[in-house]
């Protein structure tokens, strides 16, 4: 992919963040999501790509825009796969709480896993975790191994999980092992990224969350040289059939970051909507708004943080 595309994609997530940010704290998660979708879809068509949405708002019959299989872009340039979440954390925006982002991952055509909308078991850590942590290892062993590799005690480690009943036993075991637990209410893409960033205060992400979000996060994990292992979790025969249609015959198969994002040319882009640990949220002032974004490219390993001031039309 052309290097210049990375900055073009920042404009896409910025547009989604600016649009949905107007509804921060308004209690309207569906309205905020629709604003983000509309803005992202419109801006994508200005980018010189031949894009296909492989992870989006749903199937064609359930999403009028950014549906799986939709063709986006100006219709020229590189042929790419696109995974989007125009608003990760709809509840966070509705309640005005921390950590909502507009996010997307892009890779050459055929390089992103077409993950179905089902749960995915995940474990993520930074470069120190490569060859050290494993999805099927007991959580206690993973904590000891990562602590030893980073020359720390288990009590120095922080593990992020979604605050869900299904994680109660894992949370108990992490605490019993002596590590800290950080619970999040929604959105596990940013915490997965944080687990790969030195100094973020997060050392590992574990537990089950959305499979589409897992693929998006994998683009950042690959850019940061981290480790990610995952397993799709079909809940019924319909989801199992969907898994088989993707060519995944063994539901117990562990997916690596290279299975989720093939090759070495993935781009991860995110813009903050509400302020979180990694990105500040959108702020508005008369005639302007300010956004904070990050863009990563796996080929170079470059991470760019971008603060932008945008002129916006004032309400009459």
pLDDT digits (tens, 9 = 90+) for 239-265: 888 777 766 777 778 999 999 999 999
DSSP state of 240: H
pLDDT above 70: percentage of residues in the chain: 98
Helix (H, G, I), strand (E, B) or coil at 233: strand
Residues 6+ apart with CB under 8 A from 214: 115, 120, 122, 192, 228, 230, 260
Nearest partner of 46 among 14, 68, 19, judged by Cα: 14
| pLDDT of amino acid 246 | 67
Return the beta strands (E) in 59-135 as ranges: 71-72, 78-88, 101-108, 119-125
End-to-end C-alpha distance for the chain, whole angstroms: 42
Pair of tokens at residue 159: 């593990």
Tell me if residue 201 falls in helix, strand or coil: coil
| Mean pLDDT of the region 30-34 | 96
User: What is the band of 315 on the pLDDT scale with cuts at 50, 70, 90?
Assistant: low
Which of 86, 125, 111 has its CA nearest to residue 298? 111
Regarding predicted confidence, which is higher, 64 or 101? 101
**What is the Cα–Cα distance from 191 to 203, expressed in whole angstroms?**
9
55-59, 179-183, 296-300: least confidently modelled range:
55-59
Q: What is the mean pLDDT of residues 215-244?
A: 92
Percentage with pLDDT > 90 across the chain: 86
Confidence of residue 4 (pLDDT cuts 50, 70, 90): confident
- Flag whether pLDDT at 286 surpasses 70: yes
Contacts of 217 (CB under 8 A, 6+ apart): 122, 124, 188, 189, 192, 193, 228
At residue 107, does pLDDT exceed 70? yes
Whole-number average pLDDT of the chain: 94
Average pLDDT, stretch 18-42?
Answer: 97
The SS3 call for residue 213 is helix
Reported as a pLDDT band with limits 50, 70 and 90, residue 153 is very high
DSSP, res 300: T
Are 87 and 36 within 8 A, CB to CB? Answer: yes
Residue 134: predicted pLDDT = 98
**CA 205 – CA 160 distance, rounded (Å):** 5
Residues pairing with 270 in the sheet: 103, 294
Placement of tokens 């790509």 in the chain: 49
- State the pLDDT at residue 241: 84
pLDDT score at 267? 97
pLDDT at position 268 is 98
> Can you point out the beta strands (E) in 98-226?
101-108, 119-125, 158-162, 180-184, 204-210
Average pLDDT in the 159-177 region?
98
Q: Using alpha carbons, select from 190, 197, 198 the residue that is nearest to residue 217.
A: 190
φ, ψ for residue 105, nearest 5 deg: -130, 145
The pLDDT, as a whole number, for residue 242 is 78
The residue to which tokens 């308004």 are assigned: 26
Closest CA to 208 of 162, 264, 269: 162
What is the average pLDDT across 42-70?
Answer: 92
Q: How far apart are alpha carbons 220 and 226 in whole angstroms?
A: 9
| Closest-CA residue to 202 (of 125, 273, 266) | 125
Residue 316 has pLDDT above 60, yes or no: no
């Amino acid at each position: 992919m052309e290097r210049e595309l990375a900055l073009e994609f920042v404009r896409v997530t910025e547009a989604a963040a600016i649009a949905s940010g107007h509804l921060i704290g308004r209690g309207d998660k569906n309205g905020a999501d629709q604003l983000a979708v509309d803005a992202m879809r419109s801006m994508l068509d200005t980018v010189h790509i031949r894009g296909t949405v492989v992870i989006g708002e749903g199937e064609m019959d359930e999403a009028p825009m950014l549906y799986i299989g939709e063709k986006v872009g100006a219709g020229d340039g590189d042929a790419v796969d696109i995974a989007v979440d125009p608003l990760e954390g709809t509840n966070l925006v509705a309640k005005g709480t921390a950590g909502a982002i507009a996010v997307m991952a892009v890779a050459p055509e055929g390089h992103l896993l077409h993950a179905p909308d089902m749960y995915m078991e995940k474990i993520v850590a930074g470069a120190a975790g490569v060859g050290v942590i494993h999805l099927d290892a007991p959580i206690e062993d993973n904590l000891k191994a990562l602590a030893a590799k980073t020359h720390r005690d288990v009590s120095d480690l922080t593990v992020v999980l979604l605050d869900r009943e299904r994680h109660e036993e894992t949370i108990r075991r992490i605490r019993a092992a002596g590590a800290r637990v950080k619970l999040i209410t929604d959105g596990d893409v940013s915490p997965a990224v944080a687990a790969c960033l030195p100094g973020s205060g997060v050392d590992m992400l574990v537990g089950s969350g959305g499979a589409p979000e897992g693929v998006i996060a994998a683009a950042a994990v690959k850019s940061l040289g981290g480790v990610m292992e995952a397993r799709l979790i079909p809940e019924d025969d319909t989801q199992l059939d969907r898994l088989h249609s993707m060519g995944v015959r063994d539901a117990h198969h562990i997916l690596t970051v290279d299975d989720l994002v093939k090759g070495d040319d993935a781009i991860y882009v995110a813009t903050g909507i509400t302020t979180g640990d990694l990105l500040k949220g959108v702020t508005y002032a008369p005639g302007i708004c300010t956004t904070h974004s990050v863009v990563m490219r796996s080929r170079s390993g470059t991470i760019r943080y971008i603060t932008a001031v945008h002129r916006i039309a004032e309400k009459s």
